[in-house]
Amino acid sequence: MARIGSMVAAQVVRLLTGPNGANLRLTSLRTAAEASAMDPGALEVRAQNAPADLVERGEIARYPMVLVYCEKVNNNLVEKFRTFSGMVSMAAEVRHSKDRLQGLQDGLELCADAVTQVLDSNRGDWGSGIYYAGGYQVTYGPVKHGGQNYLQTAKVTFEIGVSLS
């Protein structure tokens, strides 16, 4: 089961960091007026499930960042003679940090929109028995102390279908 979660997480990271990925979408979402007030910069994308304080202790954290991880693997054997045939619950946690509160939420929303646009444009078969039917949920967290002074997160959750022999 762990192999399936990491395999799907790696595929999501490839989509988010690819040529039509989240950074391209983020650039297109910005306007000249927004760029000066709330420019979130380029997204750092990685497959990892770690709280913000541990990420900051372990290395220099570059914000904004997207952490992609598997939340749940459900092998419900939709296709009876497959080894695995079910759903994998994935999360893309967007973290944004600034030294001031001004523009923090707006920058976070731009980054979350970039992630959801990548998902919207990649519905269908991802190859290797992985498919995305569409749909996601975005949950915004409160501002906390951390990062460059203030830290806020948005969690994008979505379901991936997997069918393996």
* Sign of the alpha-carbon dihedral angle for 89, 163, 13, 103: negative
Answer with the residue of higher pLDDT: 53 or 75.
75
How many separate domains does the chain show?
Answer: 1
pLDDT per residue as tens digits for the range 23-48: 989 888 876 445 555 566 789 999 99
For residues 88 and 159, is the Cβ–Cβ distance under 8 A?
yes
- Residue 91, domain extent: 2-164
Residue 66 has which token pair? 């997207």
pLDDT score of 147: 85
Alpha-carbon gap, residue 108 to 95, rounded angstroms: 7
pLDDT score of 65: 94
Taking all residues of the chain, what is their mean pLDDT, rounded to a whole number?
A: 90
27's CB contacts (< 8 A; 6+ apart) are none
pLDDT per residue as tens digits for the range 78-97: 898 899 999 999 999 999 99
65's CB contacts (< 8 A; 6+ apart) are 43, 44, 45, 46, 55, 94, 95
pLDDT score of 60: 78
Alpha-carbon gap, residue 129 to 64, rounded angstroms: 31
Alpha-carbon gap, residue 126 to 107, rounded angstroms: 29
Give the position of tokens 């749909």. Answer: 135
